[in-house]
């Protein structure tokens, strides 16, 4: 099988990033870009992001999750702590997040350290989820092998029966991570592949250094 993609090209024509006009704190710029992506026609799930971890097998792995909250401190998502992703983070909390908003010709690359959020915060988010999502979290031993789809559906069915008209508790193995950034790179597509790249790097003083990278 062979497919030559060398002629696949797109010209990026959107507005430039002028370093001097950008805020000193990257979370301000993230918020601005996120709201613009969220309101952009034709762009669904602006909060979809990739999470890259270094696995226990020594290989990096990237998957898509949904950002559920961002604060001055960092970026929060939820998962099964005993999943492949959760175990990788427990062994090495250094992760990379990436947002790519094609219609806006933008991406954001975030390097940071992930840590579990407080249990009561995970409780609060879990309670806000639909019952089907709660039961799905209980039913799935995420990343573990299972004999068939039917076996998985059977696990869910039994839980539906067991929790009918009952409160569904958050399992201890499910909750949130917050990724606290050490660097955030904002990438804006520009003509002739001369893209704008502005990198914010956290300093020991907890101030952010802002620099321009070559494309």
Residues tagged active-site: 193
Per DSSP, helices labelled H in the chain are 26-39, 84-91, 119-128, 131-139, 149-162
How far is C-alpha 37 from the geometric centre of its chain's CA atoms?
Answer: 15
Backbone angles phi, psi at 80, to 5 degrees: -85, 120
For residue 48, what are the β-bridge partners?
Answer: 66
Instruction: Name the DSSP letter for residue 168.
Output: -
Here the tokens at position 28 are: 């301000």
The dihedral built from the CA positions of residue 167, 170, 180 and 32, taken in this order, carries a sign that is: negative
Q: What distance in Å separates the CA atoms of residue 77 and residue 29, rounded to the nearest whole number?
A: 20
């Amino acid at each position: 099988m062979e497919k030559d993609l060398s002629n696949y090209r797109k010209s990026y024509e959107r507005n430039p990033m002028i370093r001097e006009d950008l805020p000193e704190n990257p979370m301000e710029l993230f918020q601005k870009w996120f709201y613009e992506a969220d309101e952009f026609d034709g762009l669904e799930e602006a909060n979809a992001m990739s999470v890259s971890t270094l696995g226990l097998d020594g290989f990096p792995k990237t998957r898509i999750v949904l950002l559920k909250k961002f604060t001055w401190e960092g970026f929060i998502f939820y998962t099964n702590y005993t999943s492949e992703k959760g175990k990788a983070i427990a062994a090495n909390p250094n992760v990379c997040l990436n947002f790519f908003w094609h219609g806006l010709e933008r991406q954001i690359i975030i390097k940071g350290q992930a840590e579990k959020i407080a249990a009561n915060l995970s409780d609060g988010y879990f309670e806000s989820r639909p019952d089907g999502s709660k039961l799905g979290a209980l039913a799935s031993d995420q990343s573990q092998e299972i004999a068939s789809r039917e076996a998985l559906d059977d696990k869910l069915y039994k839980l539906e029966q067991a929790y009918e008209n009952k409160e569904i508790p958050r399992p201890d193995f499910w909750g949130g991570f917050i990724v606290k950034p050490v660097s955030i790179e904002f990438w804006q597509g520009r003509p002739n592949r001369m893209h704008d790249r502005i990198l914010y790097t956290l300093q020991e003083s907890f101030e952010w250094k802002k620099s321009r990278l070559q494309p």
